[in-house]
A and B are shown apart, each in its own frame.
Chain A
Amino acid sequence: DVKVTQSSRYLVKRTGEKVFLECVQDMDHENMFWYRQDPGLGLRLIYFSYDVKMKEKGDIPEGYSVSREKKERFSLILESASTNQTSMYLCASRHAALNEKLFFGSGTQLSVL
């Protein structure tokens, strides 16, 4: 079974802090994604990466950056956390050739106070 692991299930940070959310997948997937999920809004794509060292902006990249130095790891960085970044963050990966199915991590609930 594919495993997508997010480093923290719950995280509480203060406004202005730099926050790192880590995601690791063990199936050699080329594509990786970061979403945030908010009630009534569904999942919104923040950034994605089609392969190592590659990154593309999603629909809501403002206030975020990403890093993909190794194929298995995709990091989301909040440069200066703000209260409106309080959300559930979901990482996902998929095989480039079988690109229909996304595998998600169990999510990180981030609260910014």
Chain B
Amino acid sequence: RKEVEQDPGPFNVPEGATVAFNCTYSNSASQSFFWYRQDCRKEPKLLMSVYSSGNEDGRFTAQLNRASQYISLLIRDSKLSDSATYLCVVKILLLAGGYNKLIFGAGTRLAVHP
């Protein structure tokens, strides 16, 4: 079982639609959670962190459910420019050396059409 699992999609939605992605993680010791965005043939970039109480950044809302071990990303009023792959990322503390490690999901592809 993958440590971080996402539905690969694609999610094809019209402009203006609301779309939501979920991501599940298997390590209950996961500390922090993030969504990264990756445009086609480009590098990933941090979209937003996910806080325990949920958080919003404009049209984007992230939620965390520790009991069920999943995080979600909701995009309201989708724009053509939202078309990208959204990567779910989980931070785990490594006992050896006190380092932490980021584990990436394989991503969910979103295609917004006119």
Q: What residues make up the interface of A, taking CB atoms closer than 8 Å to B?
A: 35, 40-45, 48, 50, 56, 90, 99-102, 104-107
Contacts and interface: CB of A to CB of B under 8 A. Distances in A.
Contacts, number: 41
Contact of B43 (A40, A45, A105): A105
A43 B43 contact: no
A84 B44 CA distance: 23
B102 interface: yes
Contacts of B66: none
Contact of A42 (B42, B46, B107): B107
Interface residues of B, number: 22
Interface of B: 4, 8, 32, 34, 36, 42-46, 49, 87, 91, 97, 99-102, 104-107
A90 B99 contact: no
A11 B22 CA distance: 35
Question: Which A-B residue pairs are the 10 nearest by beta carbons?
Answer: A104-B43, A42-B106, A43-B104, A42-B104, A101-B46, A106-B43, A42-B105, A104-B44, A40-B106, A107-B43
A100 B102 CA distance: 9
Given A42-B4, A42-B106, A43-B87, A99 B44 contact: no
A50 B94 CA distance: 13
